[in-house]
Amino acid sequence: MLTNTRSDRVRSVKALTRRAVRQREGLFLAEGPQAVREAVRFRPDVVRDLYAVPEAAVRHAAILAEAAGQGIHVHEVSPEVLAAMCDTTAPQGLLAVCRPVDAPLADVLGADPRLVVVLTNVRDPGNAGTVIRGADAAGADAVLVSDASVDVYNPKVVRSTVGSLFHLPVVTGVPVPQLLSSLREAGVRLLAADGSGTTVLDDADLSGRHAWVMGNEAWGLEPEVRDACDEVVRVPIHGHAESLNLAMAATICLYASASAHRGTGRNG
């Protein structure tokens, strides 16, 4: 069992909470049983090391057995070592060090996606992670995160995806103009989600292949991005609320698309 909280290993794992280190090392942290379980189950190929405290090794024996079956190295560590490695104060006893999961844009587009979401300039980790979770739940084919957005391997983003980061292809690091033109060339219609939209969500044609293009959580979509889309759609605000948060708006749009694609729309 690893018990030295000042070892080089502990320091190098902890350093992955910093973006520059993640990029240099090509590694990131998945903290807690839910994220670790989904990583082991869906992307064992990217899990490099798994750290477990004794208590968690008992409680989550099924996860560790699955990991061992996949040839993943499981290290037993003291609770103090795990805490020293993590971004959270309460990582619930399990931590995985993973290689990036992102998919090349060409692969995603080559698979003829029917429904994707594009995050442009999203800065808040919680919002970005929750969009990935919502996209997964709505059955979207991919999440495309522009280069100017939050790092999807930020521990806060990883946590808020609750494992969904390992479920569906995520593209990162591509500039917005290139994302939009590539989608267009692939025959994917571009729907900007924006409060200024003239089309209300309920009236939008969501039958074909399309992408929801989302802007920044505070200032929305840049005008040139909005103009580059085929249609600007707004989620109606019926009460006095000023807006919905980004993750909420994206998930409502994605679920409307899922209903339309499945032909299960209300009154349908």
Q: How far is the CB of 141 from a second copy (least distance, A)?
A: 9
Interface residue with a second copy among 140, 145, 158, 233 (CB under 8 A) is 140
Report if residue 127 touches a second copy, rule: CB under 8 A: no
Report if residue 243 touches a second copy, rule: CB under 8 A: yes
Q: How far is the CB of 202 from a second copy (least distance, A)?
A: 4
Residues 6+ positions from 168 with CB-CB distance below 8 Å: 132, 135, 136, 140, 141, 142, 143
Report if residue 163 touches a second copy, rule: CB under 8 A: yes
Please state, as a whole number, how many other Cβ atoms lie within 10 Å of the Cβ of residue 27. Answer: 20
> 94-98 and 28-31 as β-strands: parallel, antiparallel, unpaired?
antiparallel
Gap between the terminal Cα atoms of the chain: 59
Identity of the residue, 85 or 152, whose beta carbon is nearer to a second copy in the bound complex: 152
Among the residue ranges 3-11, 76-84, 104-112, 129-137, the one whose residues contact a second copy (CB under 8 A): 129-137
Q: Which of residues 7-46 bind a second copy (CB under 8 A)?
A: 34, 38, 42
Report if residue 164 touches a second copy, rule: CB under 8 A: yes
Report if residue 195 touches a second copy, rule: CB under 8 A: no
Identity of the residue, 72 or 252, whose beta carbon is nearer to a second copy in the bound complex: 252
Task: List the x/- string, 205-234, binding to a second copy by CB under 8 A.
Answer: -x----------------------------
Q: Can you give the length of the chain in residues?
A: 268
Identity of the residue, 1 or 218, whose beta carbon is nearer to a second copy in the bound complex: 218
Report the C-alpha gap between 112 and 13 in whole angstroms. 37
Report if residue 6 touches a second copy, rule: CB under 8 A: no
Residues within the interface to a second copy (CB under 8 A):
34, 38, 42, 130, 133-140, 162-164, 167-168, 200, 202-203, 206, 235-245, 247-248, 251-252, 255-256, 258-260, 262, 264-268
